[in-house]
A and B are shown apart, each in its own frame.
Chain A
């Protein structure tokens, strides 16, 4: 579409000054998205960035593309309208754990179910930041916040489980500050036809600082996360000597060389597997019982809503005798008054 005008990532920056808090993870995600767009060879005019409400939803203002900052929770409905109305656009939806999973939960699951070709970047900081520190639908049980001074008494959503449960066909996870991997995830999501959800473990430096630190901290990250790659064995750890294998219906962490485990016993990641069982288990892995899965956990092909809409229009138009408004009103029971 735009080989002749390869843009640099800085070309995607708008003239607005970025107003997120210094140290907020959102800055890094903005950079990742801009770098991915440059790598993908996008032109500015073919991109529409749609958001709802929340800190991350200010994102469109910082992109020198088309953008629409809408209302709380409805970003995916509006993005759906944009994509279906004009499938030529690259439509990116920016949302957070409150916007997508609380007020916008219904739109989130139905967009995924329909498989509309949107790239949804879900900033998960497990807190309401813009309203200054209330618990969110991804805050851990017992989490202390301004609206849960004695700890929450509710179970959190796991975005990956929700996505796959809604028949999601693409789910990836990355860490805000791991730019290189994040850029790759954005590119993978963009390349996937259908709804792609990228959960970014993002840090809110003011209201929920270090919430993901147990797994994102440099000292422990290699042992507490696992970067999945399609077709590769599920290995992790500083020395890449730990791995996952299937024990009955459960995933089990093992160390190669211990208890007779060899590399051949380790599961090989198949992101393209239609069956959701293993993907669900991988998406749900939580520290300290398991390493947290990063990378493309699920990426399968299926009918894409916006493409189906176009195809159906063409098919009907091909065979219908009604080609205009005038044809329509003259069809059926019409009589003459003379």
Chain B
């Protein structure tokens, strides 16, 4: 590696790979993020892809992107604006140019800028740089297609396979830009295409040539230097929110010694949880890919009845279909975790985009008085934690738990420090005592009010449960008026008591803050970064971020009432703010809402928070 002509030292950098949805941008981004993580940077990633598998080539609607934020210190979001954009065609440039930081670097495959593609992307002239007013950026006009063809001309590959390797050329070039080793990606290529030595050879060569091209053009191109972050010692791996959810359940199954059962139906953006657990037959997981969302939850309820740790996974429209069955699990008092990876709604809405608009549905979207525990994860890796706790609470309290994540958490990745399960709390299964002569199916624990669990196959405990109201003493069907009132109140109280078993709400930031920022679920990274940056700039902000929604932490009111101004930020039209207002009507809540299918940006949050100081 020769001496570099211009090196930009940075604390953190955001890179976005962008191209046609068939250009392999997701893989390119993933490989780059792995290399950065192994190098020792803290990272956060987010893919942004269209819901069509192959949208029309060359158009803006077909642009697929993958963004990586990595740095010398901790990073909590995939970043708002890019330092480096790799645009494989004019549409990618057009779609992403507005997300560039001033002075950033744009690598453009100039070979793709022919008249046809420029027109498809909506450019009117043949110079997208001038037309897009991008003169202030470092533009690397790289003829990536030509160079890839040149690189592979003697390999005997067909044209299609050659063009498919373009992404590796671009990746090589970006590795040069950040002075990163190629080893991890080389290993990946060797393993992935092991059966096809020619493809291995071709990809390795293109990757290498892309890297060397950086050296050739270095006079025109700055390179970046980002030091490793100071991260807690341990073993790490990259983990996405969806895989984290799946693994949280595996951990809970092992801790509780229950068999894990998933009943589910594929739905974006929740499908990866189903896929991940389908692959875990080695750990004894039974996965039932059902004929629809309803059968997904119903098979899980059947499995729960037999004594399994039962899960169903879905996204918004699927939760709507599962509503009646959740009510059954509530009245039958069976443990169940329902994962809702939220996406843009209503109806089919924006299937691949993120939103937090299913909160009210999770809390109230059922017939009758049917309280459910609602928990929300707030980072890709803590999806593991909250899946574990959702399972623990469901089993220990014998009732359904709805776990909310979202498209942003589900597809985002972060490095995850491998946990030692021995340090995690036990899960105590409230089995019915086989020697209890006084046992009946609705006999319950006095503290938690959880019904004891007698599972089919156990001698002497055969019993019937169901969706009809039950006598509070015997568990037999009862239409008695007062009994119904008692049972409705009992089920409500049972959920309320869960508050005693969940952690108190913590406040991050300045004790005597002028404004308390309130959030829940997947917005944590952006809210935290905004508050942290404002505090470093000398302002006084604090953040209260909720993971336990129903029941709320016991100290919620005491925390909220301390602050003069509360601003509730969420990716919907104010559902959590309304929920807080309903619970604590004497407090005032400002709202900051966004429903664009995209996460907040730190920039817009900071601007808004600062404007609140002036009011």
Chain A positions within 8 Å of B, measured between CB atoms, are 14, 16, 43-48, 50, 53, 60-61, 63-71, 74, 77-86, 88-89, 106-107, 110, 309, 312-313, 316-317, 320, 322-326, 328-330, 332-338
Contact = CB atoms under 8 A, between A and B. Distances in A.
Interface string B277-319: 0001111101010111011001111111111101000000000
A119 to B, nearest CB: 15
Given A14-B464, A16-B476, A81-B263, A317 B301 contact: no
Question: Interface residues of B: mostly helix, strand, loop or mixed?
Answer: mixed
B462 interface: yes
Interface of B: 34, 37-38, 40, 184, 231-238, 247, 250-251, 254, 259, 261, 263, 280-284, 286, 288, 290-292, 294-295, 298-308, 310, 324-325, 327-328, 332, 418-419, 421, 456-468, 476-477
Given A329-B237, A330-B235, A44 B462 contact: yes
Nearest to B229: A337
Given A78-B298, A106-B291, A337-B231, A45 B462 contact: yes
B301 A81 contact: yes
Nearest to A5: B459
Contacts of B466: 60-61, 67-70
Given A60-B464, A68-B302, 20 more contacts: A45-B458, A48-B456, A61-B466, A74-B298, A81-B261, A81-B288, A81-B303, A85-B308, A85-B310, A88-B457, A320-B282, A323-B283, A325-B283, A329-B247, A333-B184, A333-B238, A334-B236, A335-B235, A337-B232, A337-B233
Given A44-B462, A317-B282, A322-B283, A337 B236 contact: yes
Nearest to A335: B38
B325 A74 contact: yes
21 contacts: A43-B459, A45-B459, A48-B305, A61-B464, A68-B305, A69-B466, A69-B468, A74-B294, A74-B295, A81-B300, A81-B310, A86-B306, A89-B306, A107-B294, A110-B295, A313-B284, A334-B235, A334-B237, A335-B235, A337-B40, A337-B236
B463 A84 contact: no
Contacts of B281: 312-313, 316-317, 320
B465 A69 contact: yes
Contacts of A333: 34, 38, 184, 237-238
Contacts of B477: 16, 61
A277 B466 CA distance: 40
Contacts of A320: 281-282
A81 B298 contact: yes
A110 B231 CA distance: 50
A134 B11 CA distance: 72
B295 A106 contact: yes
Given A81-B302, A82-B303, A333-B238, A316 B418 contact: no
B451 to A, nearest CB: 14
B301 A86 contact: no
